[in-house]
Structure 1
């Protein structure tokens, strides 16, 4: 078993589930020292009819079943199955630590994190790449991030673009940006009434028997209190990264 750290929890993962880890998973920042795990992911066959498909689009593919602190996962058939199995472990660990998991990008300017959200094509990977290459930000993930109590952001091993592996595991949440492509860089204030539903649309679907949508909503409201909520209109240009970095430093200093 190999131990990964998700949040403050250690998760023991069966080597069989890591046998097909692809280039889209960067485990380095999440490797943990040996110690008693809070959860374990074990590879084993499930009885016919048991479990939930790892990929809802493939109902006949590998399945998983949560039994207390153990997640039983059928052996992966491809690297995507391994990624999906790790996502189940990450989501379960996040939920049980009072957090929630989002489809989104995260970067850290020193200890201050910015989470960027938007539908497919909004520019999450572009935003991440610009911040990392042009403004010295560390990548948390360009695909999946966790929000935890105390406004903490946790990155993840997953990347949608191979040149954007996670370089840092955690930072403090300073701002949530809703991305839009445009002809210039500007920020617009977003109310909590608008931001919360938009964020909920990016939350991972509930796991069987775990936190309900209502509970996740309450967590999201608490975690984002005092966090800057903005719409970021930007170009695919190096200036966009410096714009966010300078705004973040100014906003933090004034706060």
Structure 2
């Protein structure tokens, strides 16, 4: 068994699951010390027939998992994707129980300033992450999955969409959330709390059964929006976009 840290929790993971972790999983920043007590356990073992839920809802007959208190049972994985999905279940459960939310999002850290990039598929989350790391020296939290906490921090994840963007940092204070839009120049625009909630809610992972109601998800997200600077970021696929964000964080750009 190995331990991964998700938020402030240590999650014990069956070695059989981690053995099948592929290139899309970067475990090193999230490994936890052997001395720390585990709060959840992910086990690779059979799920009783007719029980549990599919790891991938698109394939009801695929590999299944079952949450039983602090234990997540996952049927022995058939490949790397099953392992990745099993780890996502573990991270989501740990995040929800610690009061946070898991989102499809990209994120980087400029020193102690965490910036989260949100948008639908194709909005440019990986592009944004790559530009910030290659042109402005930011560290990668993830270009695919992040956890946000109401107390004002962002947690990275082991998962990446593009193989050249592995996670290099586990967490950072949350400074800003950017709603991505492609354009012909860089600019930041004010957004209403309603728009911010709508866009961000569309990228929140659905709670696991019995682990949070839609009302609770909305409450947590509304608190995050209230406490965080949220802007629409219009940008090009150009290194200048990374410098623009860095300068804005340094107080050298004014949102319009």
- Following TM superposition, by how much is the alpha carbon of 1:168 offset from its aligned partner in structure 2, in angstroms? 0.4
Structure 2 residue 65 is matched with structure 1 residue 64: yes
Moved more, 217-226 or 49-58: 217-226
Contact 1:103 / 1:144 at 8 angstroms: preserved in 2? Answer: yes
TM-aligned CA distance change 1:227 to 1:251, over 3 Å: farther
RMSD, aligned α-carbons? 1.1
What does residue 3 of structure 2 align with? 3
User: Which TM-score applies when normalising by structure 1?
Assistant: 0.97
Contact 1:151 / 1:224 at 8 angstroms: preserved in 2? Answer: no
- Following TM superposition, by how much is the alpha carbon of 1:18 offset from its aligned partner in structure 2, in angstroms? 1.2
What does residue 43 of structure 2 align with? 42
What does residue 22 of structure 2 align with? 22
Q: Secondary structure at the match of 2:251?
A: helix
In the TM superposition, 1:41-190 aligns within 5 A as 41-190=42-191
CA distance in structure 2 between the aligned counterparts of 1:189 and 1:53, rounded to whole angstroms: 40
- Following TM superposition, by how much is the alpha carbon of 1:105 offset from its aligned partner in structure 2, in angstroms? 0.3
- Following TM superposition, by how much is the alpha carbon of 1:224 offset from its aligned partner in structure 2, in angstroms? 2.5
Q: Secondary structure at the match of 2:166?
A: coil
For structure 1, list consecutive stretches of 5 or more residues without a partner in the other structure.
none
| Per-residue CA distance 1:205-230 (angstroms, 9 max, x = gap) | 11011011110110111123231111
User: Which TM-score applies when normalising by structure 2?
Assistant: 0.97
For structure 2, list consecutive stretches of 5 or more residues without a partner in the other structure.
none
Contact 2:24 / 2:163 at 8 angstroms: preserved in 1? Answer: yes
CA distance in structure 1 between the aligned counterparts of 2:48 and 2:175, rounded to whole angstroms: 46
| Per-residue CA distance 1:111-170 (angstroms, 9 max, x = gap) | 111100111111100000000000010000000000013111000000000000000000
Contact 2:46 / 2:76 at 8 angstroms: preserved in 1? Answer: yes
Q: Secondary structure at the match of 2:232?
A: strand
| Per-residue CA distance 1:10-45 (angstroms, 9 max, x = gap) | 000001111210100000100000122000000101
- Following TM superposition, by how much is the alpha carbon of 1:251 offset from its aligned partner in structure 2, in angstroms? 7.6
Q: Secondary structure at the match of 2:178?
A: strand
